[in-house]
A and B are shown apart, each in its own frame.
Chain A
C-alpha cells in the first residue's frame, strides 16, 4: 500500500525564522491534504492539493505539490508562537485517509 513519510519529525524554530516540512510518498498521489494539530487539540484541515506543481498560499503558509505528485511541502515564513503544533499530511483515496506521522514544531521566542 501507499506509504507516506514526513520529515523532519521534530522542528525547533526561532521565532521569526522560516522552515519547511516535507511529505514524501513512494507512489504517485491523486491528492494530498495538510492538517495542523495544536498540543492537546484535534487535527484541523488546512488545505488540499490536487494538481501537479500546484502552489497554494495561506498568509505565511505556502503549500506545494511536486511535479511528479509524489511529494509535498509546507513552508512557513516568519514563524510565530501561534505556529506551534504538529503538521500532518494525509493521502486521501475513496474515503480512506492515510496520515503521516507528522512534524512537531516548537517555536522558541
Chain B
C-alpha cells in the first residue's frame, strides 16, 4: 500500500500523559498536513510542512502540541499533558504540492483516534 499511513490507529491515555503520533506520507510528497476532527465536524487544520519546514501553525494549537518533520519524510505530532478535550481523530494528509493546473490534491491517512480518560 503506497498511501498515507498513520500509527497508532487508536490510542487511549489518561489525562496528563504525553502521546505521540506518527504519519508516513506518500513517497516524494513534499507537503504534509495535520488535522483534528471531532464528531460531526470537518477536519480542523493544525499545521503544515513543506519538506522539513513547518510553514503554518493554527493559532488554535496550544503550546502543548508540537509537530516535527525532521528529514522531510515522516512526521510526528506530540501532545503533552493531554486533556479530555484533546479526544478526537487526528488526521494526516500529504500532497505533491500545486499541479500545473494550480490544483492541490490532499491524500488523507486513516487517522489516529485518541481517547483521553
Contacts and interface: CB of A to CB of B under 8 A. Distances in A.
Interface string B68-112: 000000000000000000000001010000000111111111110
B16 interface: no
B110 A95 contact: no
A99 B42 contact: yes
Nearest to B31: A95
A45 B104 CA distance: 10
A31 B42 contact: no
B50 interface: yes
Interface residues of B, number: 26
B1 to A, nearest CB: 13
Interface of A: 31, 41-45, 48, 50, 88, 90, 92, 94-102, 104
Contacts of B43: 43, 88, 97, 99
Closest 10 CB pairs of A and B: A99-B42, A42-B108, A48-B103, A95-B48, A99-B43, A88-B42, A45-B105, A43-B108, A96-B56, A102-B42
Nearest to A97: B45
B42 A94 contact: no
A16 B110 CA distance: 30
Interface of B: 31, 33, 35, 40-45, 48, 50, 55-56, 91, 93, 101-111
Contact of B111 (A42, A99, A100): A42
B50 A101 contact: no
B18 to A, nearest CB: 25
Contact of B106 (A31, A45, A102): A45
Given A97-B45, A101-B40, A102-B40, 6 more contacts: A43-B106, A48-B103, A50-B103, A88-B43, A96-B45, A98-B45
Contacts of A101: 40-42
A42 B110 contact: yes
Contacts of A94: 56
A88 B93 CA distance: 15
Given A88-B42, A95-B48, A102-B42, A43 B91 contact: yes
A38 B106 CA distance: 16
